[in-house]
Chain A
């Protein structure tokens, strides 16, 4: 009897452990001797991302499969892969790829927002911290499904059939980038960079970015674009130093 009870308990414990393995791990608290960035000596890396050559035209989107999407885009719509302003490229995710060592960074509790508006994901490219909430909302008067396709983190697919619905998700592990899609509206895509530190930005306003509060050190900084791939640079900054770098992607032929 005792053996049977023990076996049953072990089976339940094993099942619970197996199921628990599917869940995202909650972010752990800081270790006792956590190494933190000294803001008094921190520097920053700023810069621009440029496109060498003419940007390809973004193809038009056919939204005829959903009247709501058509009504929200009366002048038509195009894909947003190439957002170029005077040779500067926007929607590029720039982040510190390595070199940070064992610094500890608190995870923000405030959610990063990803909205579905006008049958688009807004913003198109964004970053979030591992363990930080990502609030995904539907501002459209039509149905969407939020389908994340990560490689490292668990995939999910959530329906949002009503305007105003919000689902909050977190990614436990670092991953650059996590594609999002809507299978209802095949043109809807977003890309989310998940990082275990705060040094990331998405280019905007003339392809500019800023990685501030960086401790002195040598870093690999990477720029990611959904069509053009990645470029990396090694950057060394001294305490309180501000350094400017430029990434230049080649336009596709």
Chain B
């Protein structure tokens, strides 16, 4: 299990790299520099000569190759998780990642062939973040701390706050993607004021999209600060909650500064891309905090398993309904003592 966990971290890190590569494609306006798909200028993708990786092709073709690699890594991840992890819902999540990456590849191809229609491109950007969330979740669920650490908190307020914050971050990312793919990134060319005013004095569709992203940033920042403050106040001794909460505050501060520089630099591609990647980091961190706030609930459908994958007995916050698979059998019971043992050991 520990190797599976390391592997999930590799896939999640590769996904960040993929998001960065995709960000560079959009930021440099290279999305259509390779007009065909899945081939590259008629070449089989993997045999496209390196001396032809010029101009925008460098970004688009690299993105396709990294995406193919992540796709292959995800196939292995799904199979590996299915074979090793005893929790049915985690195994299903592995295949959800595979489905998401396949759909993502198709959306990527479709947006090239349809000449970047905003709806498809925004969908491609939004699904990228969801796929990242799945890989990150798998990394969390397969981690030693998730499987063996002390019981999670049982705080409905925290759950609601963290969930709302994560949802708000995701909506904000979709707004950002809409802004990027409708060329509204400089619709308001000044920051922090809009044309010298708090509210734009004129409104067009592009200005409205751009302003919605700025307003969303205020909303998201408020949500993150409220969540972090709540965690600090009510769960200050819980490192598994305090650390992501504090990291969120830092990341959102960095994100605001990056957003300002995106405007001031007139969409400089590297700054733009770092803004996209850091946005993914904000989402991922918020998701980790949210999942940890739900840890008790999630663990009611899993067994307490030691780091090497062998189920063990241990104190739990509530009667645990086990659902683990041993020797091809899934057990479901409210009796944690009996079901926490592998099949046969309690006969």
A145→B32 contact, CB < 8 A:
yes
A248: CB under 8 A from chain B?
A: no
Minimum C-beta distance from A155 to chain B (A): 5
Q: Which of A67, A68, A145 is within 8 Å of B33, CB to CB?
A: A145
**A186 contact set on B, CB distance < 8 A:** 28-30, 55-56
Centre residue among A68, A155, A157 by max chain B CB count within 10 A: A157
Report which residue of A68, A156, A183, A186 has the largest number of chain B beta carbons within 10 angstroms of its beta carbon: A183
In the complex formed, the residue of B with least CB distance to A119 is: B55
What B residues does A147 contact at CB under 8 A? Answer: 32, 35
**CB atoms of B33 and A183 under 8 A apart:** yes
Q: How far is the CB of A12 from chain B (nearest CB, A)?
A: 24
A-B interface pairs (CB < 8 A), number: 55
A161 touches which one: B28, B41, B55 (CB < 8 A)? B41
> Which residues on A sit within 8 Å (CB–CB) of B29?
183, 186
A213: CB under 8 A from chain B?
no
Contact partner, B115, options A155, A182, A185, Cβ 8 Å: A155
- Are A184 and B57 neighbours in the complex by a CB distance under 8 Å? yes
Report the nearest A residue to B33, measured CB to CB: A183
With A155-B115, A157-B32, A157-B35 as contacts: A183 and B56 at CB distance below 8 Å: yes
Q: Mark A180-223, 1 if CB is under 8 A from B, else 0.
A: 00111110000000000000000000000000000000000000
A145 contact set on B, CB distance < 8 A:
32-35
Q: Which residues of B contact A66 (CB under 8 A)?
A: 54-55
B198 CB, min distance to chain A CBs, angstroms? 28
Interface size in chain B (residues, C-beta < 8 A): 18
**Is A159 interfacial (CB 8 A cutoff)?**
yes
**A159 CB to nearest chain B CB (Å):** 4
| Least distance between B343 CB and chain A CB atoms (Å) | 56
- Closest approach, in angstroms, between the C-beta of B166 and any C-beta of chain A? 35
The answer, yes or no, to whether B52 is at the interface (CB within 8 Å) is yes
Contacts of B36 in A (CB 8 A): 159
User: Is B259 on the interface with A (CB-CB < 8 A)?
Assistant: no
Q: A145-B32, A183-B33 are in contact. Are A161 and B42 (CB under 8 A)?
A: yes
Residues of A within 8 A of B30 (CB): 183-184, 186
Q: Are B31 and A183 in contact (CB under 8 A)?
A: yes
Contact between A68 and B32, CB atoms less than 8 A apart: no
Instruction: Closest A residue to B115 by CB, please name it.
Output: A155
> When the two chains form their complex, are residues B41 and A143 in contact, meaning their CB atoms are under 8 A apart?
yes
B10 within 8 A of partner (CB): no
Q: Which residues of B contact A182 (CB under 8 A)?
A: 55
How many angstroms from the CA of A142 to the CA of B41 in the assembled complex?
Answer: 12
Contact of A68 (CB < 8 Å), options: B28, B41, B54, B56: B54
Nearest opposing residue in chain A for B58, CB measure: A65
CB distance from B39 to the nearest CB of A (A): 10
**Which A-B residue pairs are the 6 nearest by beta carbons?**
A183-B33, A184-B55, A66-B54, A161-B41, A159-B35, A157-B35
Residues of A within 8 A of B (CB): 65-68, 142-143, 145, 147, 155-159, 161, 182-186
5 contacts between A and B (CB under 8 A): A183-B56, A184-B30, A184-B56, A185-B55, A185-B56
